Amino acid sequence: MANAPDLLSTKAAASGETAAKTSTEESRSSHCCFCSMQCQMVLTPSDGHPGLIIKPSPDFPVAAGRLCQKGLHALEHVLHPERISEPLRRVKRFDSDASRGSAAGGLRPESWDVALKEIAGQIRGLQAEYGSDAVAVYGGGSLTNEVGYLLGKFARVALKTKYIDYNGRYCMSSAAAAANQAFGLDRGMTMPLHEIPHARYIILAGTNIAECQPTMMPYLLAAKKNGATIVTVDPRNTMTSKAADIHVRLQPGFDSVFVNGLLHVIVAEKLYAESFVRERTHGFEQLAEAVKAYTPDYVERLTGVLEGVVRTIARGFAKAETGIVLTARGLEQQVNGVENTLNYINLALITGKIGRTGCGYGAVTGQANGQGGREHGQKADQLPGYRLIEDPAAREHVAKVWGIDPAELPGKGVSAYEMLQKIDEGEIKAMIVLGSNPVVSSPNNSMVERALRKLELLVVIDLFETETARDAHWLLPGSSFLEGEGTLTNLEGRVFHRGKVLEPPGNSRLDYEILCDLAEELGRGEFFRYGVIEEVFNELALATAGGKADYSGITYERLKREKGIFWPCPAPEHPGTPYLFQERFHHPDGRARLFGITPKMPAEPADRDYPYVLTTGRVASHYLSGAQTRRTEGLNKKAPVPVAEIHPWLAQKIGLRLEDRIRITSRRGSLVFQAKVTEGIQPRTVFVPFHWGEQLSVNRLTNDALDPISRMPEFKLCAVKVERES
C-alpha cells in the first residue's frame, strides 16, 4: 500500500475533460471497483493540473486511510482511450484464430434505437422458434446490488428464461454451499473485520490476502502485534505467508486430509469445546468417526506435513482463547471444494470459536460485490434475498413484488459453466453478457470460445472489447464504477452506498438503463420503469423482506448517514447484524451441523503421463480477467505477462537453463510461459496466474470438472507435464 501520488498518471491527468463533466471544484467519494474490501476513495481536482486524482478516504470504517495499488490506479481504465462509447454491431464474425479479435472492418457504430430494436427482434425470433430458454444471461460479481438484482429480474420477467448464472459461480459457490449446510446461512464472514485483532490464533487456508485484499493485512498484523499466532496453508510461499508464524506448504488436493489430522488431534486429546458442541451442534459422532484414522503420522505420510506440525497447529488453535478461520479459493475451487470448506468450518465449530469476540469463520470473498452478487437473483437457483426459486413461498413473495403470476417464473437453470456447455450442445442460441469475461475466466476456455462462436446472437455489455466481446454480434457501452450509483455488499456483509462521480462518456448508458430499455423493446417495459436507481434498491429491499439476506430495513438515506449496515436488517429501526450466530444458527433448530468428511481424490490426479500439478491464482497488480488492469499502465508494467513458478527440483529435472521458458501441457492444451524458479512452492506443483487471454491464458489448460454440489470448476489443480522450451 502507498499514499496517493500527486497525479494518478499522465494519461489519467490528461483526461481531465471527461472528469470535469461533473467534478471540477469539489471532491467526490466513491468505492474501489476491485476486491471485496471495497475501500472508500476520494476523487479530488488536482491543483494546477487538469483532471482528478484518487486518495484514500480517511473515515470509511473498513479500511480508513488505505488504498492498495489497484485502488490508487482505478481511474485509469475509466478514462482509457479504448473505452467503448457507442453501440457497435459486428458486421463480420471471424472464424479463424489468426483473425479472431481483429476489429478492422468488423465493428460498425449504430444508434441505440437501432441496436435495441434489432437485438429485441432477434431475441423474439429465436424464442418463437426454440422457446424462452433459448436465450441465456451471464452476469458478474462486480455489479452493484441493484444491477445484479435487475439482471435476475430481466432474465425471468423480460426474457422468461431459466438460464441465468454469473461469474461468482467460479468464486464463492463452494464456500456458500458449505456455509448454508453448516450454518443454515451464507454470509462471507460471521463477524466484522475489526474482530481479527482480538483473535489469538488465526488460520488462513488457501488465501493470499496480502496480494488479493491488501488493505485487510493491517487487521492481521494488528492481531500479530497483540500476540496472535498466524498459520497459512498454501502450496506457495506468498506475501501473506511471510507474516505467518507457521506456513504449511500443502500440495493442492490434500486439504481435507490435513484438516482431518487437526480434527483427529482435537478429538483424541479431548480439546474440543464440549458444552458448545453438545448444546449448539449436531453431528459430532460422525465427525469423530470420520477422523479416527487420520493420525498425525498417517497425515504426514499422505501429505508430507510433519506430524509435529499437525499436532502443534491442532493444539494451538484448540487451546487458544479466541481464534478465527479464514478460507478462500485455494481449497474451494476444487471438485471437493464444498467438503474442504466444511472441514475448516468443523474446526471452528468443535472448538467453539463462533459467535463471540475474537472468534469466527470467514470465506474471504474475491470480487468487488461477490457477496451481494449472489444474494439477489443472479444464481441459477435463487431469487432475491437468498430465496430458492423452486420454493413456492419464495416464488409467491417475489412474484407479488414484481407484479406477475408466480406461475410465470421459470424454474432453476444450471451453473455458469454448464450454461456454456449447453451453448456448445446447441440448446442455447443467444446470450447476453454483462460485467464478465468468461472466455478468460472459465476453465477449458477453448471450449468456451468454440461455444460462443455457435451463438446466433451474442450481446456483450462492457467498457471494452474484451476477449468475450470479440465474438459478440453486438457490443453495448456500459458504465464504470464511477458512473453508476448504487449499493454493494463487502466481504463482511456490510451494505454501503456508492455515489456517482462522473457522467458516462460519449453515448454510453448506465447498465440498469440498458436493461430497462431492452425490456421495453421486448414488450415487458411496464415491469422495468424506474425514475432513479434508488427506486430499484427500494424494490430489491421489498423483494428480500423475510428472506435470509433481508435488506428490507435498509434505505439509501440510512446508508449515507450510517456508512454501511450489516444484513440481515429486517426493519427501519433495526441496527443491522454485524455478528452472526451469537445465540443460534440459522437452521430451524438453531444448531450448526458438523460433517464427517472422507477425503476424496481430485478429478484429475497426477499420473505417469502427467506427473505434476498445475494450480492458478492472482497476482497483486491484476484483477480477475485483467480487462481493466491490463489497460492500466501503472499496473500492467509490473506484470505484463504471466510467469510460471516452479521449484528448483523440477527445474533441474527438466534441465531448465537461464532464460529458458517452460511448456506446460494438460489433457486440454499446451502453452509456453516465462518461468521463475523459486523454493517457495511445493516441488511437484506449478503456479500460473490467470489474468490474461489468448495464448497467455492458463485457463486453456485447467480442468472443467465440477463440484457435485456447488458446480464450482476445479481451477486449483489439474495434471500436467512440464518441459523446457528454449
Q: What is the mean pLDDT of residues 469-493?
A: 97
Q: Say which CATH class 112-171+370-566 falls into.
A: alpha beta
pLDDT band of 20, cuts 50, 70, 90:
very low
The count of other CB atoms within 10 Å of the CB of residue 607 is 8
pLDDT above 70 for 708: yes
Could you tell me which CATH number the domain at 612-725 has?
2.40.40.20
- CA separation for the pair 441, 138 (Å, rounded): 13
- pLDDT for res 19: 36
- pLDDT for res 103: 40
326, 244 contact by CB (below 8 A): no
**Strands 201-205, 324-327: parallel, antiparallel or unpaired by DSSP?**
parallel
- pLDDT for res 93: 59
pLDDT above 70 for 101: no
pLDDT band of 105, cuts 50, 70, 90:
very low
Q: What is the mean pLDDT of residues 154-159?
A: 98
pLDDT above 90 for 5: no
- pLDDT for res 47: 67
- CA separation for the pair 123, 128 (Å, rounded): 8
Q: Is 51 left (phi over 0), alpha (psi -120 to 50) or beta?
A: left
pLDDT above 60 for 633: yes
- CA separation for the pair 131, 35 (Å, rounded): 38
Give the architecture (CATH level 2) of 173-363: 3-Layer(aba) Sandwich (3.40)
- Grid coordinates representing 35 are 476486491
- pLDDT for res 94: 54
Q: What is the 3-state secondary structure (H, E, C) of 403-453?
A: CCCHHHCCCCCCCHHHHHHHHHCCCCCEEEEECCCHHHHCCCHHHHHHHHC
Going from N- to C-terminal start, the domains of the chain cover 10-78, 112-171+370-566, 173-363, 612-725
Q: How far is CA 365 from CA 330, 621, 688, in A?
A: 12, 18, 21
- CA separation for the pair 2, 72 (Å, rounded): 8
The count of other CB atoms within 10 Å of the CB of residue 519 is 23
Q: What is the mean pLDDT of residues 434-459?
A: 97
- Backbone φ and ψ of 721, nearest 5°: -115, 150
Q: What is this structure's pTM? A: 0.94
pLDDT band of 357, cuts 50, 70, 90:
very high
Q: Name the nearest CA neighbour of 365 among 221, 552, 494.
A: 494
Q: Is the dihedral of CA 600, 604, 606, 609 positive or negative?
A: positive
Going by C-beta distance under 8 Å and a sequence separation of 6 or more, which residues neighbour residue 705? 335, 603, 604, 713, 714
Burial of 381 (0-12, 13-18, 19+ CB in 10 A): middle
- pLDDT for res 56: 95
As a whole number of Å, the CA-based R_g of the chain is: 25
Minimum mean pLDDT range among 41-45, 47-51, 93-97, 240-244: 93-97
Residues 580-627 have pLDDT tens digits of 999 999 999 999 999 999 999 999 999 999 999 999 999 999 999 999
- pLDDT for res 726: 74
pLDDT above 80 for 261: yes
- Rounded percentage of the chain residues whose pLDDT exceeds 70: 94
pLDDT above 60 for 91: yes
Whether omega for the bond prior to residue 568 falls within 30 degrees of 0, making it cis, is yes
pLDDT above 60 for 8: no
Give the architecture (CATH level 2) of 10-78: Single Sheet (2.20)
The count of other CB atoms within 10 Å of the CB of residue 194 is 13
- Backbone φ and ψ of 569, nearest 5°: -140, 90
37, 63 contact by CB (below 8 A): yes
pLDDT above 80 for 21: no
Q: What is the mean pLDDT of residues 692-716?
A: 97
pLDDT band of 106, cuts 50, 70, 90:
confident
Residues 364-413 have pLDDT tens digits of 998 999 999 999 999 999 999 999 999 999 999 999 999 999 999 999 99
pLDDT above 90 for 536: yes
Axis-axis angle for helices 145-153, 511-521 (nearest 10): 20
Distance of CA 722 to the CA centre of its chain: 29
- pLDDT for res 49: 54
- pLDDT for res 51: 78
